[in-house]
Amino acid sequence: MIYLDNAATSWPKPEAVYQAMDSLMRNTGASPGRSGHLMSLTAARIVYETREALCEFFGIADPSHMVFTSNATESLNLAIKGLLRPGDHVVTSSMEHNSVMRPLRALEKAGVELTVVPCASDGSLDPSAVERAIRPNTRLVVLSHASNVVGTVLPVGAVGAIARRCGVPLLVDAAQSAGCYPINVESMNIDLLAFSGHKGLFGPQGTGGLYIRPGLEARLEPLKQGGTGSYSEYEKQPDFLPDKYESGTPNTVGLAGLGAGVRFVMREGLANVRKKEEKLTGLLLQGLAGIPGVVLYGNGDPGERVAIVSFNISGVPSSDVALRLEEDFRIMCRPGLHCSPVAHRTLGTFPQGTVRLSPGHFHSVLDMERTLEAVRQIARKAR
């Protein structure tokens, strides 16, 4: 079997991730911050070590400003709904995932003004278009770092400089780039960084986080209130980080796995991870481009995209191609619209969608060659 759906969830995980989660469940298993006994303190230490590792990875100085969530979607909802009020204006791009578009459309109905800056047909974005869209009442710019449909890396650093100059916070959706592409919140002028743990960071599903720049917490309302293990004598929600945004018992076992995943990427070296994924992506792009009947989407340079490749075979629905890949060749991928209809409209692939291949760190050149041969056979039969 060849699993090419790492853009949805990375698999397999590093062995250290499995071990960390198994060890916590067998040997610790208590709720962090809910008691003073040894098992609770050990669980709290594991959670904090994961917080520290993520801060080191993203260039964050204060670990308290790394807030844990259940996924990137929750992080984006917290940032978007926590900051925007009726009468505010927000800017985003036409390559966003529904985790951005749906909260924004919901707030638009409540009186928030929305501008969707159009991207080019390959998914690229001109930063000056974002600058032109900013108004006096703009309160947020939301931008995907890398497209989940074609992998195109958007100019987050350039947009961050523009947003900082205009005094507008920048929220970056790093669901597809965290662990796969360099991110430094300071040098890239990122005010809010939303990420998932179960993709390029090799953690399990149900993990994610939101970095909040110091000072923004005064304006950012929490999505939920409840028990935090701190200030239990008060009925009001704590106003300090991270407790303000972390109500409820955390996914401790998941965070243990996420910590192991982040440390795996750091040991491997992000540059090495990136180099391998570029190579695999380049092999797919080059091979698919040479197959008659195959239509490729996005930038053709593997250096300007994460490890995501979208294509179609002329005259064949994307779902049929994916079915043939799985049933005839045991290759797992994802067809359709990938929860990003606005991106597919930008690419010109709505409503049919595309076939998405997303290789990962544990794939080989042989896996790519087998995949290309499978597509070649399917395209030949279609002709």
pLDDT of residue 314: 97
**C-alpha separations of 194 from 10, 100, 135, 178, 322 in Å:** 18, 11, 24, 9, 30
CB contact set of 133 (below 8 Å; sequence gap of 6+): 91, 115, 117
Q: Which helix (H) or strand (E) holds 282?
A: helix 270-289
**Tokens 């208590």 belong to residue:** 30
Closest alpha carbon to 126 in 175, 162, 80: 162
The CA distance from 180 to 361, in Å, is: 9
The CA distance from 113 to 137, in Å, is: 9
The yes-or-no verdict on residue 89 having pLDDT over 90 is yes
- Whether cis (ω within 30° of 0) applies to the bond prior to 341 is no
The domains found in the chain, sorted by start residue, are: 15-268 (3.40.640.10), 270-382 (3.90.1150.10)
- In this predicted model, what pLDDT tens digit does every residue of 210-220 receive, in sequence order? 999 999 999 99
- Cβ atoms of residues 71 and 339 within 8 Å: no
**Tokens 């239990």 belong to residue:** 232
pLDDT of residue 383: 85
Q: What is the mean pLDDT of residues 226-231?
A: 91
pLDDT tier, 190 (very low <50, low <70, confident <90, very high otherwise): very high
pLDDT of residue 116: 98
Residues recognised as catalytic: 339
